[in-house]
Amino acid sequence: MKRVYVAVVIAIAVAAVLGMAIAQHTGYVLIAYKSFRYESSLWATLALVVFIWLLVLVVNALIGLVTTSGGVVNPWSRRNRSRRVQLAIEQGQLDLAEGRWAGAQKHLHRAAEAERQPLLYYLGAARAANELGRYEDSDTLLERALERQPEAELAIALNHAQLQMDRGDTDGSLVTLQAMQERHPQNAQVLRQLQRLYQQRGDWPALIRLLPELRKDKVLPAAELAELERRAWGENLSLAGQREQDGEAGRQSLERAWQQLTSAQRQEPQLIAAYAEQLRQLGAEAEAEEVLRNALKRDYDSHLARLYGLVRGRDSARQLQTAEGWIKQHPEDPSLLLTLGRLSLQNRLWGKARDYFESSLRFQRNPEACAELARLLAQLGDTERSNQLFQEGLGMLDKRLLALPLPQANRT
């Protein structure tokens, strides 16, 4: 309030001074140019100048207001175009995140056509079209993205390969990724997608050939790479004997695959198990028994001990004696006890087999041990206990089954 009073006092003082100045001398202004002649007092001229200046300000403000209003009202104005594009971006991204594929494709395509850097919007629209099964539209959107941003060829190709995988076109995805590998041989994402594609296709030999590059370029953490390497070689061994129709040819193929491993790899339990299992399936059980026996003597493994009971060596009594030597160091291993029970059956030692199966079940309730003991008890005449064990084993297996509808039991 004080400021208002001060301003009023100052205005009055200025008006008084101006009034006194005007009263003392009005001044005189003359402007003459050719036939034009302007004459007036100094104060009137100053007032005219101030009026013209204020008029210019008012006209300029009115022009700005009209222009702004026209931009708001006119749907084709630059301001409204930017606003529509921004709305399309926001709505398209929301639709994409929430799985509304048709809306995502429409809005992101519109945004991509309007933006200077359209790559992300084209990629989003292509993904939405792919989810809708509009594969041609998806590929066209990616081609359009490449036209607009050719420097993003690698990013577009990687997305294209992933979309091809998603639609089940693994052959097309492989062609795309191999082309990118030739042009960008050390790109980690290209190598990672190739690794996933080979796994999806079950092409383990190709994945094995890729492993050195994965290791050299440190595409995967060391632990993950080691596990992938074990799985790839194991799967390759599992498939080696199945590639040939003839048993002898299958055996030779398996041996070649085994010899491709390094000496360190041939000591790994997972790979030994895969090799021995393939020998067993090819009918070379004696060789499988020898491989497992040597491996277990060198470094005991519970999974190998279980597999040892599934193969028949040349001398079943010696095989049982060998396995019983391991029980001293591993008396509570249910897998080894199960194997001892099976080997006792091979040697027709029914009582010993029963004791080993019972011991295995004391340490771990296992459907295999239940089934083996139930079969033995049925033959020994203990049908009640046999049926109980069969039911228990089936109950364990039942937990692995899907909860699918079943008919109501008939009750009479």
Which CB contacts under 8 angstroms, 24+ apart, belong to 198-202? 200/165, 200/170, 201/170, 201/174, 202/235
Cα separation, 174 vs 191, whole angstroms: 11
Please report the pLDDT score of residue 77 as a whole number.
Answer: 52
Q: What burial class does residue 212 get, using C-beta atoms within 10 Å of its C-beta: 0-12 exposed, 13-18 middle, 19+ buried? A: exposed
For residues 226 and 202, what is the distance between their CA atoms, to the nearest angstrom?
Answer: 18
pLDDT reported for residue 269: 92
Phi, psi for 396 (deg, rounded to 5): -65, -40
Distance between CA 59 and CA 200 in Å, rounded?
A: 72
Residue by residue, pLDDT tens for the chain (412 residues) are 677 677 777 767 766 666 666 666 666 666 777 777 777 776 677 777 777 887 888 888 777 666 555 444 445 455 567 888 889 889 989 999 999 999 999 999 999 998 889 999 999 999 999 999 999 999 999 999 999 999 999 999 999 999 999 999 999 999 999 999 999 988 999 999 999 999 999 999 999 999 999 999 888 999 999 999 999 999 888 888 776 545 678 788 889 989 988 899 999 999 999 999 999 988 889 999 999 999 999 999 999 999 999 999 999 999 999 999 999 899 999 999 999 999 999 999 999 999 999 999 999 988 998 899 899 998 988 889 989 988 888 888 766 655 556 566 555 4
What local confidence, expressed as pLDDT, does residue 15 receive?
65
**Confidence at residue 121, expressed as pLDDT on a 0 to 100 scale:** 92
pLDDT at residue 98 in the model: 93
| Domain limits, the chain | 2-73
pLDDT of 27 reads: 67
Q: Can you give the pLDDT at residue 283?
A: 86
Contact 320, 343 (CB under 8 A): yes
